[in-house]
Homo-oligomer: A and B are copies of this chain.
């Protein structure tokens, strides 16, 4: 006859309260930028202590759902979910997985090759002049032979992001930025020699030209070839690394 009122609550008080508030936010019962009651008031309403309220709020703050400020006009406010913050959060998660070696290099390269080719197709359809200019700017930068390896890699990332940006598709940008950024720690293992730099820049320029000409299939094929070339470089780099440290995992 017991309706199992126990065991339907999972976790401690802090977690329960955090879940309650999170649900309220997600269901729109708490509007964006709305101010929550003070911590003391929350403690009284939930009949728990203030430290427990604070633990709950810290959890929500860690998930970018709320923010807190001190002072008379301070308090706790509901955050507006913004694409940038979400992208950062997703990128962090993906970077962690990649960094811990939960994915094969090979499948990452495949995923990037295919998805970026797709972005090329959409970019060829939807690119604006500003998008083309952004790509051209990075290409110009990459032609500077005095550029450090770090800066070259950074510019490479920005070029690929510019291609994604040119698709004009928000959800796609969200996912692709995470995919590209999470790959950085791995591409940073590469050392681009002059020869490879020239090849890379030439590939970028061909891709930009195809996108400018709205030639979707050529752009996609060029991107596939470009990333496939990176796979070869990565294999060499990994081979060198394994030669140095024969039994090295991915520490």
Chain A interface (Cβ within 8 Å of chain B)?
14, 26, 28, 32, 51, 54-55, 58-63, 80-83, 86, 89-90, 92-94, 96-100, 102-104, 107-108, 110-112, 114-115, 118, 121-122, 168-172, 174-175, 178-179, 251
Contacts and interface: CB of A to CB of B under 8 A. Distances in A.
A115 B173 CA distance: 12
Given A58-B58, A93-B90, A26 B171 contact: no
B251 A94 contact: no
A179 B175 contact: yes
A211 B80 CA distance: 41
A118 B108 contact: no
Contact of A171 (B63, B172, B179): B179
A63 to B, nearest CB: 6
Given A55-B58, A58-B59, A62-B62, A97 B107 contact: no
Contacts of A32: 100
A96 B169 contact: no
Contact of A118 (B26, B51, B118, B174): B118
18 contacts: A26-B99, A28-B251, A51-B51, A55-B58, A60-B62, A62-B62, A62-B63, A81-B102, A86-B93, A86-B96, A86-B97, A89-B89, A104-B170, A111-B171, A111-B172, A112-B171, A114-B172, A171-B179
